[in-house]
């Protein structure tokens, strides 16, 4: 317990100087990763190579890979601080960051991690809360709206770089029965409509009629709907919906919660000539790069 506590304090202390000196000093942190029911320990930079292999394509532009490396490193540091007293810091699934053990096979991934070694995003002398999704669908989402947590650098922002990726447009059709079951209702679905949207255009509230009774579906119930229908099927809450011939038809844009970095948006920005520093500023305005400087 003493070792875990000291790691947490060390990370907190060294980040307090990040806003002034732009760098912090520590031995390379060790990541405890829950994988396949077992906890494995990896050096931070080695772990990130596996994350990039799991989260993005090694064939993407180098600046997009470097953007992802900084985001993943910052996310990891935050999780290590929060979970310092537990048996592990992160899992290897999409609920944290997807990790694949073959990352070292790709020279582009190794280069991206190496060229951003120890770099993290900071805000007001502390690690920034960094989140990312596959595609924003054309507008990022506010962390306050999605999770009830306000961060000035995680606001709804128009994202023209995420309008022509593989998730720019998608359609999902589910049966009336499966839709109601996902929400915990039984009966006949008479109608469905979007009753409220947030500033990014995402659905904040649905109004449905079930066997003559009207119900509101909002907040956690909408997220539960995504989970039960499948995150990879109901890709985001940036959708329109209608009842058609006994089916609920969703037509939407983007994949994921929409908060922070759009991975496919970063790819398009890199292809357009933006550096990873510029990409990070676009998706996390007001943050600065800090350095974890390992002791010799």
Q: What is the pLDDT of residue 234?
A: 98
Q: What is the pLDDT of residue 27?
A: 60
Q: What is the pLDDT of residue 125?
A: 85
3-state secondary structure of 157: coil
Of all residues in the chain, the percent with pLDDT exceeding 70 is 90
**Structure token digits, residue 84:** 């310092």
Residue 102: CB atoms within 10 Å: 11
The band of 293, judged by pLDDT with boundaries at 50, 70 and 90, is low
- Please state the domain extents for the chain: 2-161+257-294, 170-252
Supply φ then ψ for residue 197, to 5 degrees: -125, 155
Q: Which residue has the higher pLDDT, 292 or 118?
A: 118
The conformation of residue 138, written as its DSSP 8-state character, comes to T
Whether 11 shows a pLDDT value over 90: the answer reads no
Q: What is the pLDDT of residue 294?
A: 53
Whether 139 shows a pLDDT value over 80: the answer reads yes
Kindly state the average pLDDT of the residues 233-245: 97
The band of 292, judged by pLDDT with boundaries at 50, 70 and 90, is confident
Of all residues in the chain, the percent with pLDDT exceeding 90 is 84
Using CA atoms, how far apart are residues 133 and 264, in angstroms rounded to an integer? Answer: 9
* Predicted TM-score (pTM) of this structure: 0.88
* C-alpha dihedral sign at 179, 184, 189, 192: negative
E runs forming strands in the chain: 23-26, 30-35, 38-43, 90-91, 119-123, 126-127, 132-133, 170-175, 189-197, 203-210, 213-218, 239-244, 247-252, 261-262, 288-294
Read off the pLDDT of residues 180-220 as tens digits, 9 standing for 90 and up: 999 999 999 999 999 999 999 999 999 999 999 999 999 88
Rounded (5°) CA angle 13-19-22: 90
Q: What is the pLDDT of residue 166?
A: 95
Read off the pLDDT of residues 82-111 as tens digits, 9 standing for 90 and up: 999 999 999 999 889 999 998 889 999 999
Which residues make Cβ contacts (< 8 Å) with residue 13, sequence separation at least 6?
Answer: none
Using CA atoms, how far apart are residues 98 and 197, in angstroms rounded to an integer? Answer: 30
The band of 169, judged by pLDDT with boundaries at 50, 70 and 90, is very high
| Mean of all residue pLDDT scores within the chain | 90
Whether 140 shows a pLDDT value over 90: the answer reads yes
Tokens 């844009």 — which residue?
Answer: 253
Using CA atoms, how far apart are residues 10 and 32, in angstroms rounded to an integer? Answer: 17
The continuous run of DSSP H or E covering 16 comes out as helix 2-16
Read off the pLDDT of residues 116-134 as tens digits, 9 standing for 90 and up: 999 999 999 899 999 999 9
**Structure token digits, residue 193:** 């409509």
Q: What is the pLDDT of residue 149?
A: 96
Kindly state the average pLDDT of the residues 28-54: 94
């Amino acid at each position: 317990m003493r070792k875990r506590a000291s790691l947490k304090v060390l990370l907190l202390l060294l980040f307090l100087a990040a806003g002034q000196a732009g760098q912090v000093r520590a031995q390379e942190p060790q990541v405890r990763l829950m994988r396949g029911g077992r906890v494995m320990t990896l050096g931070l930079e080695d772990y990130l190579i596996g994350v990039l292999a799991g989260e993005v394509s090694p064939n993407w532009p180098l600046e997009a890979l470097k953007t992802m490396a900084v985001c993943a490193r910052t996310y990891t540091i935050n999780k290590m601080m929060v979970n310092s007293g537990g048996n592990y810091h992160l899992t290897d699934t999409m609920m944290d960051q997807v990790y694949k053990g073959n990352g070292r096979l790709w020279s582009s991934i190794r280069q991206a991690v190496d060229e951003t070694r120890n770099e993290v995003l900071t805000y007001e002398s502390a690690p920034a809360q960094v989140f990312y999704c596959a595609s924003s669908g054309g507008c990022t989402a506010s962390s306050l709206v999605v999770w009830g947590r306000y961060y000035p650098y995680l606001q709804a922002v128009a994202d023209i770089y995420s309008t022509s990726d593989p998730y720019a447009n998608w359609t999902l059709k589910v049966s009336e029965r499966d839709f109601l079951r996902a929400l915990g209702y039984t009966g006949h679905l008479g109608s469905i409509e979007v009753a409220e949207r947030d500033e990014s255009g995402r659905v904040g509230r649905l109004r449905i009629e079930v066997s003559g009774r009207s119900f509101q579906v909002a907040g956690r119930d909408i997220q539960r709907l995504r989970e039960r229908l499948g995150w990879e099927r109901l890709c985001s809450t940036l959708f329109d919906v209608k009842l058609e011939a006994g089916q609920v038809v969703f037509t939407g844009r983007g994949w994921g919660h929409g908060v922070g970095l759009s991975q496919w948006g970063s790819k398009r920005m890199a292809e357009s000539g933006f550096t990873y520093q510029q990409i990070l500023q676009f998706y996390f305005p007001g943050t600065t790069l800090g350095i974890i400087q390992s002791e010799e």
